């Protein structure tokens, strides 16, 4: 079974040379730590920066330079700052190549819910609805089950939706799964995890064809 860093490490393999990438808050943020250093990638943060670098050294932080998680950041050579309209123009106009975000639930038709638990948690959708409605290439990073042990890969989402039919790939602590017109398709198993364990943890339709390889990390 993978931990959060393991999930990030596996997703980092999906990042290709020349990609502009938007990383959501949580596990997606960790992906930046594992991207190969022999490829050229720029990270976009929707509050208005392209070419995001690592966190600053202590004492070098600047209150005017933060990411969408409100964390202090640095910029790399080639970086740019811009306003929110331009930022979402990049997103809505499909200039960002890959979007990686977290989710509370994903359905077998690619619906995603990650912004609201009625009566309990209403923090808002931030930029998630814009991102999932426009991005061609969306990877969800999440745990396969919730804290109560219930599957987060469902036939139908029970929570209010963030977007409809938009998720293409899911990387969890147990598996790599593709969303196909016929349902979830199992592509890879996490180290030490059996197909049976994944089937058991998946509520939605799971297509298992042939031998399922173990992830290479």
Partner 1 sequence: MIRKTVANVEEALKGIKDGMTFMVGGFGLCGIPENIIAELVKIGVKDITCISNNAGVDDFGLGLLLHKHQIRKMVSSYVGENDEFERQMLSGELEVELTPQGTLAEKCRAAQAGFPAFYTPAGYGTEVAQGKETREFNGKMYVLEEAFKADFSFVKAWKGDEAGNLIFKGTARNFNPAMCGAATITVAEVEELLPAGSLDPNEIHVPGIFVQRIFQGKDYEKRIEQLTVRTLK
List residues with catalytic annotation.
46
Q: Which of 98, 128, 143, 201 binds partner 1 (CB under 8 A)?
A: 128
Residues near 21 by Cβ (< 8 Å), separated by ≥ 6? Answer: 15, 31, 41, 42, 43, 44, 96, 97, 98, 99, 100
Q: Which of 6, 163, 183, 204 binds partner 1 (CB under 8 A)?
A: 163
Query: Residue 124 and residue 139: Cα distance in Å, rounded?
Result: 21
Please work out, in degrees rounded to the nearest 5, the angle formed at the alpha carbon of residue 72 by the alpha carbons of 172 and 2: 15
Which lies closer to partner 1 via its Cβ, residue 49 or residue 193? 49
Q: Is 63 in the site for partner 1 (CB under 8 A)?
A: yes
Residue 138: φ, ψ to 5°? -120, 125
Q: Which residues of 17-56 are buried (b: 16+ CB within 10 A; e: fewer)?
A: eebbbbbbebbbbbbbebbeeeeebbbbbbbbbbbbeeee
Q: Is 137 in the site for partner 1 (CB under 8 A)?
A: no
- The count of residues interacting with partner 1 (CB under 8 A) is 51
Q: Which of 13, 19, 20, 130 binds partner 1 (CB under 8 A)?
A: 130
Q: Is 178 in the site for partner 1 (CB under 8 A)?
A: no
Residue 206: φ, ψ to 5°? -120, 120
Write the DSSP symbol of residue 115.
S
Q: Which of 124, 149, 181, 210 binds partner 1 (CB under 8 A)?
A: 124
Q: Which of 13, 16, 92, 155 binds partner 1 (CB under 8 A)?
A: 92
Residue 116: CB minimum distance to partner 1, A = 8
Which lies closer to partner 1 via its Cβ, residue 111 or residue 188? 111
Q: Which residues bind partner 1 (CB under 8 A)?
A: 45-49, 54-58, 60-73, 81-85, 87-88, 91-92, 111, 122-130, 133-134, 160-165
């Amino acid at each position: 079974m993978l931990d959060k860093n393991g999930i990030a490490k596996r997703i980092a393999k999906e990042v290709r040379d020349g990609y502009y990438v938007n990383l959501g808050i949580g596990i997606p943020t960790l992906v930046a730590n594992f991207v190969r250093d022999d490829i050229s990638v720029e990270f976009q943060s929707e509050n208005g920066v392209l070419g995001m670098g690592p966190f600053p050294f202590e004492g070098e932080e600047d209150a005017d330079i933060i990411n969408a998680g409100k964390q202090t950041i640095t910029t790399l050579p080639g970086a740019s700052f811009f306003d929110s309209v331009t930022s979402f123009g990049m997103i809505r106009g499909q200039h960002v190549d890959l979007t990686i975000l977290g989710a509370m639930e994903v359905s077998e038709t690619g619906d995603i819910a990650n912004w609201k638990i009625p009566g309990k948690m209403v923090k808002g959708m931030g930029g998630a609805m814009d991102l999932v409605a426009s991005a061609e290439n969306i990877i969800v990073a999440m745990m396969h089950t919730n804290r109560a042990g219930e599957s987060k890969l469902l036939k139908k989402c029970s929570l209010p939706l963030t977007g409809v039919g938009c998720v293409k790939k899911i990387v969890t602590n147990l598996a790599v799964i593709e969303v196909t017109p016929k349902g979830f398709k199992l592509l890879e198993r996490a180290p030490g995890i059996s197909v049976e364990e994944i089937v058991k943890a998946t509520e939605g339709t799971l297509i298992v064809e042939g031998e399922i390889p173990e992830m290479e990390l």
